[in-house]
Amino acid sequence: MVNSLIYKLSTDIAKIVSEIKESVVTIITEVPHVLSLFGYKELTGVGSGFIIEPGLIITNAHVVRGAARVIILYHDGVSEEAEVIALDPYRDLALLRIDRNIKAASLGDSDSINVGEIVLAIGSPLGLPGPSVTLGVVSAVGRTIIGENVILEDLIQTDAAINPGNSGGPLVNAEGKVVGITTAIIPYAQGIGFAIPINSAKRFIEMLKLFGRPVRAWIGVYVAPVTPQVAYAIGSTVSEGVMVVRVVPGSPAHRVKIREGDVIVKANERRVRSVKDLRLAIEESIDKGYVELEIYRGRSLMRLKVPIVVEEL
């Protein structure tokens, strides 16, 4: 019985990989590197990506940032040069345009992910020709991680091995649908990996189509979901919302005196349960110019109108 279950799991995984591998690509970048006495030379980098829509590849921003040329290597060995058309360092996402007609990966719903789900990380780890596959489970969701020169919110945490070169590749669930975009930007991660939720990528593309260019709407806070355990640890009576973990000096949030440890429970009269809820409320309020927040500081409830800054990226 056990052997038959293992065999079925094995064949199911092999089928998933077979169906998605055409959509997964290796990304080779050439980045100019200035030499003090001898001009410059090209440094080569390697990452991963996948077809998110016909003619469009999504990957991590840090994979292609600063690249003079971006070469796409497909699963069948064919290569072509791609154009970087949008880059969002705050979501660590980039969009590339290609000429070749390759089928897009099937996208899932990252909001419905459950801890314990089996996932596959697919890409080109350590620069080795891909796609290569690692297996793991979703070990946590809603992580806010501080990396080198970047803070990433609402990440999926997994124990599937993610190495340099895997960055930008898909995190796939047991239905063969992409639920995340793996990132190896966190240098101190040991035995765990992180992925950007696919719904963040969908929103990134929506914003690009809406404004015609990548923009960031922000108020100057980084937040993490509040759980009963977090509420107990910080002595809060609020068990649902998002906790402010950092306030950017000089930002709108700083000017209206939002502090680290404050818990945001509502935005525009709607409950805030996740980082995504707050980000969506801010983006939907761009035309209005401010977002209305309800915030608990200890036992005190505050209502604030926080101006929104819209930056072209």
- Is 92 a residue of the active site? yes
Closest Cα partner for 44 from 79, 81, 71?
71
Taking residues 179-187, what's their average pLDDT? 82
From the list 48, 62, 132, 236, the catalytic residue is 62
Residue 281 is predicted with a pLDDT of: 94
pLDDT band at 213 (very low <50, low <70, confident <90, very high): confident
CA dist 52 and 117 (Å) reads: 22
pTM, two decimals, is 0.83
228-251: pLDDT as tens digits: 777 777 777 788 899 999 999 999
Q: Where are the domains of the chain?
A: 2-97, 110-204, 216-312
* Domain 110-204, classified CATH 2.40.10.10, yes or no: yes
Q: Do 2-97 and 216-312 share a fold?
A: no
Report the percentage of the chain scoring pLDDT > 70. 92
Which residues partner with 107 through β-bridges?
178
Give the containing element (helix H, strand E) for 70. strand 69-73
Residue 282 is predicted with a pLDDT of: 94
- Is 167 a residue of the active site? yes
Residue 250 is predicted with a pLDDT of: 95
168 and 61 in contact (C-beta within 8 Å)? no
Query: What is 216-312's CATH topology?
Result: Pdz3 Domain (2.30.42)
7-62: pLDDT as tens digits: 787 888 899 999 999 999 999 999 876 665 555 667 788 999 999 999 999 999 99
From the list 167, 236, 274, 285, the catalytic residue is 167
From the list 88, 92, 154, 262, the catalytic residue is 92
Residue 312 is predicted with a pLDDT of: 79
Sequence-separated (6 or more) residues with CB below 8 Å from residue 171: 119, 120, 121, 122, 156, 158, 160, 178, 179, 180, 181, 182, 195
In words, the CATH class of domain 2-97 is mainly beta
